[in-house]
Structure 1
Amino acid sequence: MTELNPKSKQLDFSGVPGSIILTVALPVLVLFLYLLSNDDYHLVQVSLDFEAVKNIVKNQIIDNWRDCFFNYNCWIAYCSWFFGLAVMDLIIPGKWMQGVQLRDGSKLWYLINGKELSLALITVLLGRIYYIGDFNLPELAFLYENILPLIVTTWEFSIILATFCYIGSFIPLIGKNGKDTKERILAVGGNSGNPMFDWFIGRELNPRVGYWDIKLFCELRPGMLLWFLLNIAYVQKQYLKLGYVTNSLLMVNIFQFIYIFDGVLNEEGCLTMIDITTDGFGFMLAFGDLCWVPMTYSLQARYLSLMEFNLPLWAVVMITVIMLSGFWIFKSANNQKSYFRQGKLPNMKSIQTESETKLLVDGWWGLAQHINYFGDILIALSWCLTTGFNTPLTYFYVSYFACLLLDRQKRDEAKCSKKYGKYWKQYTEHVPWKIIPFVY
């Protein structure tokens, strides 16, 4: 171990046992959610029809294991999607920005082109609809008809990508002169020396191929945009089946479209997120970005595409208010912090630490330490409410997401307490609430 890359002292997720359990359990959970929401069976109440689920497992997985686990067409389609986006990410013009300062004092450069890439993708999609002459794209039909093998394909791809990044973390970086080498910067929490845990959590902080940053790309491109395409595929399926699209499915698509493209269009905000600045890139993030996000976040749309469920007007208004309120809190709070860090809000109250960092205790950030998380939870709740109260299945997302944000808040609090010491104590006296003002 070196001074630049000290050995990890604290292992998240209960260390090696936890990493093994999650490596197995998370893909199984994604598969289980699919088994509860598909053309052959969808859960409409609390009680579960185990016989129906068992038949789906037998017919679609066991009897067709080769097509499920080694689907050639899905592999061709997914590799074309992943690497096609990677090429677009490299060649589409944008603006160059530096990330946060790393432990060796350097800053990485990032090509920020989410707006341009999104415009290109939507243009291609609209062009295909115009060319076909109807809302019946074979690409979207392929997605809908191959959800199960695509789930498995993205899981397998995540394993390969995590392994590639883990092996690459041991190869020294070659200097510009082609001779000198320098040590890669490893994640503080991913340098335990245990191969299983480091592979799972991510050993290298910023794995790259040239200036193409694998972690930022996976955070915003293949999974997020596949989520968008899956939602559109569900809309197409219902339109072809019913001749129209229910207001519930239309609502969740609009809400999630706003959320997805807000993230893609504002990717520079990710440069200061804990995923980019602190966490390594291993199986956990690879699987989360490539499989978990598109396959579980689209659960509400998949469920609604299977039935004809329209919301009454009062419910449409109420859910829209919850969504817009959450989005307003989320966006305005994040913008306020960003403007403050850029020096555009010099009059806001803050606590000056021994470093150059200031802890904001005014505006939105005087209400709660992670007020943006509160907005995020309201957004998640609005998506789930579009499905009504026929089943607890579609409320999985808001339950999981609340737990995820709670874990992030606790990790961030431990990190900040260690980093800022007495100043963090002063900060918590000014802002005692963690996520929800006057509640938690």
Structure 2
Amino acid sequence: MGKEEKEFGGTTGAIGLILFSHFVPFYFTLSLRYSSGGLYCPSSFDELIQNFKETCSPTWSAFFIYTGFCLLQLIFAAILPGLRIKGLPVPTENNRQYEYNCNALASWYVTLILLAALHFTGIFRLTILADQFGSVLCVAVICSDILSFIIHFYAIKSKQTCRMTHSPIYDFFMGVWLNPRIRILGQDVDLKMLAEVRLSWLLLFLLIVSAALKQYEAFHTVTWPMIFILTAQLLYINACMKGEECIPTTWDIFYEKWGWMLIYWNLAGVPFVYAFQANYILVNSLRTQQPTEGISMTLIMVLFVILFLAYYIWDSSQAQKNRFRMQQRGTYVPRSAFPQVPWNTLKDPKYLKTECGSTLLIDGWWKYCRKPHYTADICMATCWALSCHQWPGVLPYFYPAFFFGMIVHRYTRDVARCKAKYSKDWKTYCDRVPYAFIPGII
């Protein structure tokens, strides 16, 4: 293996991103509480501390809610039935292929049914997530930081590290352990896939449902912007669950190490930052006591059309590529989880054979551009922000702007890796598929 190249600006960039990542969700939470989702500017440091204590102090109930949710998902990952799928060979572990029990879809539906029963019987009201949003966030941040240290030092002590740069802070940020696993109830559970597929997205959906229920409690109605956010997230998260068997071949699983960056954003960043639009709609409807005034139904209808089109491209393009990879390895298993969109499995697909033995798909959506799913993802993220048009503000657009930057940076990392791996075959591929994101434009 060659020397591990530093990304994100090395150690300095890692420190900056750790600080920034801690700042963003807390700032958004204080903004929602004290500025109705607008720019939050406390008059003094003492006011900032007081506001933080009032809104984001950890509580025992928040601790039990968050850790209970994580433990429940860990148990479900171990005991529920699912497809057994082998991942890609791991070069740093003598091409070992790990097996994954892909039962996220079962966990998804069991969790929704269980929490619906607890909510409607009054045993556990989901609106508590909206009421204690800041406290649960604080617990999630603390837990993710502690887990990052545990994973880092356990990997070093047990000699399960790979591709280290030996720059302590940078290695902590990027991770040193590729395939962290824990044995529970007689089953091996992949912690990285558990966090990426379930802990992040399922908690995000529950936070959005909590905001919608809170709005319904206040007005006995759920507004169209909130319905849009619920629909968008339901489609997105359900797709992640129903396509879990495709995830072992993705970049995050087969290449990215499980360090602070992935741990923090999966356990805290994604659910609490990405839930901003739903809570923005909630707090402003409560502030004005006029939840339906100012809604442009024309814009809402346009957003639904763009959402469904972007979702279709995003879902089917990822299915095409990942199922193509699985077909090439002989691990493809047909699956009919709802909703199965058309054109998601290619028959006799065209591809380029490279000198290193890998294949590059040039069929389906992938004959038009190299990253169709990135473009669709950005379109959906932008729609989330536009759904907040009823109360104009800047912060709802943070997510699509942040996501755009992350996607572009991820694309540059992928291109650098592919150039090194495929050499002249990469140029041939780019000549065949010249556009990265939008056919005929870029």
Question: Match of 1:60?
Answer: 51
Q: CA–CA distance in 2 between the matches of 1:249 and 1:55?
A: 35
Q: CA–CA distance in 2 between the matches of 1:430 and 1:350?
A: 10
1:213-362 aligned at under 5 Å gives the runs: 213-306=190-283, 307=285, 308-309=291-292, 311-341=295-325, 342=327, 345=346, 347-362=348-363
Q: 1:106 to 1:49 in 2, by over 3 A?
A: closer
Q: 1:426 aligns with which of 425, 428, 431?
A: 428
Question: Match of 1:102?
Answer: 90
Question: Match of 1:198?
Answer: 171
Structure 2 residue 191 is the aligned partner of structure 1 residue 207: no
Question: Match of 2:117?
Answer: 127
1:14-93 aligned at under 5 Å gives the runs: 14-38=9-33, 40-43=34-37, 48=39, 50-51=41-42, 57-62=48-53, 64=54, 68-93=56-81
| Superposed structure 1 runs of 4+ greater than 3 Å apart | 51-56, 67-70, 343-348
Q: CA–CA distance in 2 between the matches of 1:284 and 1:250?
A: 31
Q: 1:358 to 1:398 in 2, by over 3 A?
A: same
TM-score in terms of structure 2 length? 0.88
Identity in percent:
26
Question: Match of 1:400?
Answer: 402
Q: CA–CA distance in 1 between the matches of 2:47 and 2:246?
A: 42
Amino acid of the residue matched to residue 184 of structure 1? Q
Q: Deviations 1:391-424 (Å, cap 9, x if unpaired)? A: 1211111111111111111111110110001100
SS in 1 for 2:179: coil
Q: 1:346 to 1:247 in 2, by over 3 A?
A: closer
Offset at residue 345 of structure 1 (A):
4.2
Amino acid of the residue matched to residue 105 of structure 1? N
Amino acid of the residue matched to residue 270 of structure 1? I
Offset at residue 439 of structure 1 (A):
2.4
Q: CA–CA distance in 1 between the matches of 2:143 and 2:134?
A: 14
Amino acid of the residue matched to residue 48 of structure 2? V
SS in 1 for 2:398: helix
SS in 2 for 1:348: coil
- Is this contact kept in 1: 2:28–2:37, CA < 8 A? no
Q: 1:362 to 1:93 in 2, by over 3 A?
A: closer
Offset at residue 238 of structure 1 (A):
0.8
Q: CA–CA distance in 1 between the matches of 2:387 and 2:278?
A: 9
Which stretch has the larger CA shift, 428-437 or 335-344? 335-344
Q: 1:54 to 1:238 in 2, by over 3 A?
A: farther
Aligned residues: 411
Q: CA–CA distance in 2 between the matches of 1:215 and 1:118?
A: 17
Q: CA–CA distance in 2 between the matches of 1:313 and 1:24?
A: 40
Name structure 2 gaps, 5 residues minimum.
Answer: 286-290, 329-344
- Is this contact kept in 1: 2:85–2:100, CA < 8 A? yes
Q: 1:96 to 1:243 in 2, by over 3 A?
A: same
Offset at residue 26 of structure 1 (A):
0.8
Q: Deviations 1:304-361 (Å, cap 9, x if unpaired)? A: 1121146333222100111011111111212222343315746433211123322122
Q: 1:125 to 1:155 in 2, by over 3 A?
A: same
Q: CA–CA distance in 2 between the matches of 1:347 and 1:117?
A: 33
Which stretch has the larger CA shift, 356-365 or 419-428? 356-365
